[in-house]
Amino acid sequence: MHMTQREGALDLLKWLALLSMLQDHLRYVGISADWLYVPGRLAFPWFCLAMAANLARSGARKTEWRYLGWLLVFSALSEIPYRLYIPDPDTLNVMPTLALGLLVARGWQDPSLVARLLAVGSLLLAAMFPERLMFGFFGVLLPLAMLLVFNQRWYLGLLPGLICLAANQWQVLLEAARFGNSVAILGLAACLFAPLLGMLLLRHAGSLHPPAMRRWAYALYPAHFLLLLAMRQAFT
């Protein structure tokens, strides 16, 4: 399928990923809403899938460095709002993970020496400091996994689902699921099936036309932390 037929679906995927992220972070506002963890598991794999869709476009090489630049700029701008809102964060915000994932996926596409060196360097950084990256080493691999199955059979979306599961706290979730914790059980399922659900959405929602999500949307990431921080202070 050509991306021109999927623009509406791609924008819809990005909006849904943003909504999922917002739901996940609402858990830290001060209300009892642990169940929001489940829809929150959709956000990161859908952002990775949107990245893979952008890389799969014809002419992606013309925009890849600009894409990386925006990620790096907003990685820096988001870190302080992220740390102000998330209690005792032990990782950086999610954008460094996405930036490294972009370099890895692009290194697979581009045989040039620079692209391959950047991809190898990104993998080494992720392997050396997984505890500092949100979603760790496997989170960095997820955009590439999405790209590899992007135009393949729909059921191959389960393969990046396994990587998505590894990128999350699967050991903790599995242990809790063994004791019948419904949030953990649904969280495991969300991680496993999120890439597949996203791929099906891209393939079958092309007739929908939500508002286009353009570069201004990067600012929504730090802005939503500030908004939620204001809400928490208002509640307390």
The reported pTM is 0.93
Q: Is the pLDDT of residue 5 over 70?
A: no
Q: Which residues contact 170 (CB under 8 A, 6 or more apart)?
A: 188, 191
pLDDT over threshold 50, residue 200: yes
- Is the pLDDT at 187 greater than 90? The verdict is yes
Query: Distances from the Cα of 188 to the Cαs of 107, 145, 154, 175, 191, in angstroms?
Result: 30, 18, 20, 11, 5
103 near 122, Cβ under 8 Å? yes
- What proportion of the chain, given as a percentage, has pLDDT over 70? 95
Number of domains within the chain:
1
Domain residue limits at 25:
3-235
Residue among 67, 68, 57 nearest 151 (CA): 57
Residue with tokens 């956000």: 43
Maximal CA-CA distance, the chain: 54
pLDDT of residue 7: 82
Q: Which tens digits make up the pLDDT trace of 10-58? A: 999 999 999 999 999 999 998 888 999 999 999 999 999 999 999 987 5
For the cut 60, the answer to whether the pLDDT of residue 139 exceeds it is yes
For the segment 65-116, what is each residue's pLDDT rounded down to a tens digit?
888 999 999 999 999 999 999 989 999 999 999 999 999 999 999 999 999 9
The vertex-61 CA angle with 59 and 62, nearest 5°, equals 75
The predicted pLDDT at position 62 comes to 59
**Once rounded to an integer, what is the mean pLDDT over residues 115-133?**
97
More confident residue, 133 or 170: 133
Rounded CA gap, 6 and 218, in Å?
A: 21
Q: What is the mean pLDDT of the chain?
A: 92
